[in-house]
Structures are given as C-alpha cells and as structure tokens.
Amino acid sequence: RGVRCDDAGHVIDLDLSSDSISGNLDDSSSLFRLQFLRRLNLAGNSFDSTQLPTGFGMLKELVYLNLSETGFAGQIPSEFSRISRLVTLDLSTFSPGYILSLKLESPNLNMLVHNLTRLRDLRLDGVDIAAAGDDWCHALSSALPDLRVLSLSYCNISGPLDSSLAKLQSLSV
C-alpha cells in the first residue's frame, strides 16, 4: 500500500501520508537512495521537530513533494532548490495554535525558488518567510511564471503587494 513501481521495478511513487510514522528522518535514510522517485507524500506524520534533512535534494526526479504537517522544524535547506523538476511543493505547517516551525532565512524564498521554475503549486502555509512585499513578490514572479496555486497563510510576510505579481498570469488559487 502506498508504493508504486515502474516496469523496471524502480519505486517511483511513495505515499506514506498519515501512516503514524514518527521519530527522526536524517540524511542517512534509505529514502534518499530512491533515485527514480517521482512522487513523495509524507504528509500528516510526526518527525518530532527535527530539522528537514538535506537528503531531499538528492531526489532529483521528484515532481511532487508533500511534507505538510510533518513536524519538521528549522531552516528549509538550500538543497531543496536542487529538485528542479518539482511541479508541486507543499511544506505547509500551519494548524490552529501551531507556532511557525519552518523558516526561510538563508536561503530565503528567492534562493529556494530560483531553480524551481516548473512549479505550478506552491504551499508554504505557516513557514516563516519574514519578507517584505517587494521581496517575496519579485521572487515568485521572476522564478515561477507558470504558478497556478499559491498558498502563503501565516507566513510572516508583509505588503504592499508588488505589481510584479501581475506576471503570474496562470495563477488561479
């Protein structure tokens, strides 16, 4: 259940969402050796406020990554920008009464998305971006021209909205 392989037997889809997985996930995990993995969903598990492993950057074939509500904390590693085939990225952490646990300081939002030009769906609810309107607006509009879904609730961003957002002509949500 939750595992799909291609005709050659390579794991290409792993959906372990809400499977009551808990504990640590570190860079030595065999998960990061699944070099043909295209879709990974770990949403709704509890990784005990551990740092996001840099190993996600080794999953170069990913087009879908959902780490929402997983309990990861700290800085989002720069290695995430290496997953350049991503179409969907969900790092949302917000739920009522939850504190901002993930953050984008160094790298900032601009550094995260500059290689993720294929993104169509970006959800960063509850991630502490701490950026002014012109910074986060320019980061998104210059790197993600085909973005369709954007969710930035409770991200500690400020305005005013910059006119560069008008470049996101495919944005529908």
Q: CA distances (Å), 6 to each of 31, 74, 129, in order? A: 17, 34, 37
Q: Which two tokens stand for residue 82?
A: 């290496």
Residue 142's pLDDT band (cuts 50, 70, 90): very high
Count how many residues are written for the chain.
173
In terms of DSSP bridges, do strands 39-41 and 3-5 run parallel, antiparallel, or are they unpaired? unpaired
Count of CB atoms within 10 A of residue 144's CB? 22
How far, in Å, CA of 110 to CA of 33, rounded? 28
Mind listing the pLDDT tens digit for each residue in 70-127?
988 899 999 999 999 999 999 998 655 556 689 998 888 999 999 999 999 999 999 9
Average pLDDT, the chain: 91
Q: Is the pLDDT of residue 172 over 70?
A: yes
Mind listing the pLDDT tens digit for each residue in 43-54?
999 887 788 999
In terms of DSSP bridges, do strands 3-5 and 11-15 run parallel, antiparallel, or are they unpaired? antiparallel
Count of CB atoms within 10 A of residue 32's CB? 18
The candidate with the shortest Cα–Cα distance to 2, out of 32, 26, 37, is: 37
Can you give the pLDDT at residue 50?
Answer: 83
User: Each residue of 77-115: b (16+ CB within 10 Å) or e?
Assistant: bebbbbbeebbbbbbbbbeeeeebbbbbeebbbbbbbee
The candidate with the shortest Cα–Cα distance to 139, out of 171, 117, 169, 170, is: 117
